[in-house]
Structure 1
Amino acid sequence: MKKFEIAAIPGDGIGKEVVPVSLHVLNTIEELHGGLKFDFKEFPWSCDYYLEHGKMMPEDGLETLKSFDAIILGAIGNPELVPDHVSLWGLLIKIRRELEQSINIRPAKFFKGLQSPLVNPKDFDLIVVRENSEGEYSEVGGRIHRGEDEVVIQNAVFTRKGTERAMRYAFELAKKRRGHVASATKSNGIIHSMPFWDEVFNDVRADYPDIQTASYHIDALAAFFVSRPQIFDVIVASNLFGDILTDVGGAIMGSIGIAPAANINLNGKYPSMFEPVHGSAPDIFGKGIANPIGQIWTAKMMLDHFGEIELGRKLLDVVEDATNDGFKTPDIGGKASTIEVGDEICRRLKRL
């Protein structure tokens, strides 16, 4: 039997509603699959925790997380209580950086039962590999002076190791998919980092002669996500570019509420973390209408990470079928509650 210790951090807002639903789905899968065992331990780290303790997690929080096989995260942020740069850098980004989750992957596909805003989405199925540890989101920079003389410097930091790592992950992923990698660049406008990005991409693709490649400036690439997303398979992008592209990916699916993400640790030293792309949505928290699909899709990605590819495929098929049959929350045109959607998915899993 495969046993997995999972840390669950519901976090803030609707994270507290959708994480329990995803754990219920995983418990259902455990019941149906005699060879799997999930042990969940929940942690209350959040903005509420910050207000009580003055920090987003305890001093030994990272050491605690290191003992788990994976982390399921709901959502972080409540700007009315805690500034976003405090909450995110104190928990979400802290976990990503210090547990060496250097790759972020986010899929987007034509989703049965959802009305894409595209007139003809043509069954697109793509995945963005985002460099997750450096790039435009570095901590290097600072401020000097105030008022009209104020100067702010924000440095983007790209290392060959980090850039090549993301690109090789993308090429290896493409070998398991449709064999195409697109690079997101802006070397016609960003004079140092993006020509470097292009150079590393050219070096890496030489090792994968069977993989087709293309390179797009980020502004054109964002437009192509809308006008012809079906041409893409795997896209590799820097931290900022990948972040923006994947929100577009959620939009063309029909709702960012269903978009999942995985923060992958490649060296096996620490756990990977699985989270939906949507935020904490404090405006709908407590109403029971939050869309749980993004969180459940992250559970599918966790199953994939554990090598349970077929189980993950079956779970996503069930989620799509339920959505296609009208079991949807109000944000995507339905009338079901968060719990009702989760319960229906569990019922369908039991019928397989």
Structure 2
Amino acid sequence: MNKHAIAVIPGDGIGQEVVPEALKVLETAAQIHGGIAFEWTTFPWGCEYYLQHETMMPSDGIETLKSFEQIFLGAVGMPGLVPDHISLGGLLLKIRQELEQSINVRPAKLLCGMKSPLADPQSFDILVVRENSEGEYSDVGGRVHNGPDEMALQTSVFTRKACARVMEYALSVAQRRRRHVTSATKSNGLAHSMPFWDDVFRDVSQAYPDIQTTSMHIDALAALFVMKPHVLDVVVASNLFGDILSDIGGAIMGSIGIAPAANLNVERKYPSMFEPVHGSAPDIAGKGIANPIGQIWTAKMMLDFLGYEDIASVVLYGIEETLVENVKTADLGGSATMTEVTERVIAHMKAAAK
């Protein structure tokens, strides 16, 4: 029996509701598999914690998390009460940075039972692999002067090590998919960072002769996500470009509320963190109508990373069968409660295992 110690941070708003639902699914997956077990340790960190302690997590929080195999996160944010830069920087970004979760992975797949806003989506299946530690989101710069002379400087940082790491991951993943990687660039506008990115991509790709590679300017690539997403396989991108493209991916799936994500420490020196893309949605929190699919699909990604691809595929099967029978929460046009959706996912998983 393989036992996995998982740190659980439900966070804020609907995170506190959908995380327990996803844990039910993970427990069901463990029962079906028969050879795994989970040990959950829940931490009450987030905006409510901040309002009581003036910090999003305790000072030894990162050291505490290092003792776990993985981190399962809900949602973070309490608009109007805690400024976004505090809620984001004090928990999510802090964990990503200090646990060296250098790669962000977000699938954009048209699930069975979902209706895309696109007229002809043709069953797209994209994996956006995003550099997660530097690039355009590097904290280098500042503001100087006052009045009409005030100015802001924001410096992007691109290192060969970080660029190569995310590109190698994307190319290796493509070997298990459709063997094509598209690199997002903007070398015709960003005269230093993007030609550097392109050079590294070209160098790294030489070690993967079996993978077809393409470089595409971010504006054209964003349009392709909308016009012909089915032609894309793996997309590798810098921090900002990957952020934008993955949100487009969530939109063309039919709802960003179902989109999952993983923040990976690929070296496995520290735990990775798995979180849905949706926010804390305080307007519907506590009503029992939050969509649990994003959190459940995130659980599927954690199972994949732990090496349990077979049982992870059963989770995705349960999600799709639930959507096909139109058991959906209100945000997807249905009338089911959060718990009803989870119960159907679990029922389909158990039926598939018989």
Query: TM-score per shorter chain, which class?
Result: over 0.9
Q: Deviations over 1:258-312 (max 9, x none)?
A: 1000010012111010000111111211221111111000100000001100111
The equivalent of 1:330 in structure 2 is: 330
Alpha-carbon separation, structure 1, partners of 2:5 and 2:328: 31
Alpha-carbon separation, structure 2, partners of 1:337 and 1:188: 49
User: 1:337, CA displacement in angstroms?
Assistant: 0.9
Within 5 Å, give how 1:1-12 maps onto structure 2.
1-12=1-12
The equivalent of 1:23 in structure 2 is: 23
The equivalent of 1:317 in structure 2 is: 317
Within 5 Å, give how 1:1-352 maps onto structure 2.
1-352=1-352
User: 1:53, CA displacement in angstroms?
Assistant: 0.4
SS at the partner of 1:156? coil
Alpha-carbon separation, structure 2, partners of 1:127 and 1:2: 28
| Corresponding pairs, count | 352
User: 1:147, CA displacement in angstroms?
Assistant: 2.6
Alpha-carbon separation, structure 1, partners of 2:344 and 2:293: 12
Alpha-carbon separation, structure 2, partners of 1:229 and 1:268: 32
Aligned-residue RMSD, C-alpha: 0.8
CA contact 2:56–2:90 (8 Å) conserved in 1: yes
AA in 1 matched with 2:60: D
- Extract unaligned runs of 5+ from structure 1: none
Alpha-carbon separation, structure 2, partners of 1:10 and 1:273: 12
CA contact 2:140–2:155 (8 Å) conserved in 1: yes
CA contact 2:258–2:294 (8 Å) conserved in 1: yes
User: 1:79, CA displacement in angstroms?
Assistant: 2.1
Alpha-carbon separation, structure 2, partners of 1:23 and 1:154: 40
User: 1:351, CA displacement in angstroms?
Assistant: 2.0
CA contact 2:131–2:239 (8 Å) conserved in 1: yes
AA in 2 matched with 1:121: P
Alpha-carbon separation, structure 1, partners of 2:348 and 2:202: 46
Alpha-carbon separation, structure 2, partners of 1:32 and 1:266: 27
Alpha-carbon separation, structure 1, partners of 2:65 and 2:350: 32
The TM-score with structure 1 as length reference comes to 0.99
Q: Deviations over 1:60-80 (max 9, x none)?
A: 000010011110001111121
AA in 1 matched with 2:6: I
AA in 1 matched with 2:86: V
Alpha-carbon separation, structure 1, partners of 2:194 and 2:29: 44
User: 1:348, CA displacement in angstroms?
Assistant: 1.9
User: 1:42, CA displacement in angstroms?
Assistant: 0.6
SS at the partner of 1:176? coil
Q: Deviations over 1:47-90 (max 9, x none)?
A: 11001101000000000100111100011111211111111110
Alpha-carbon separation, structure 1, partners of 2:30 and 2:175: 30
Q: Deviations over 1:165-218 (max 9, x none)?
A: 000000000001010000000000011101100111111111111100111100
Alpha-carbon separation, structure 1, partners of 2:177 and 2:61: 37
Alpha-carbon separation, structure 2, partners of 1:25 and 1:70: 17
The TM-score with structure 2 as length reference comes to 0.98
- Determine what percentage of the aligned residue pairs are the same residue: 64
User: 1:241, CA displacement in angstroms?
Assistant: 0.4
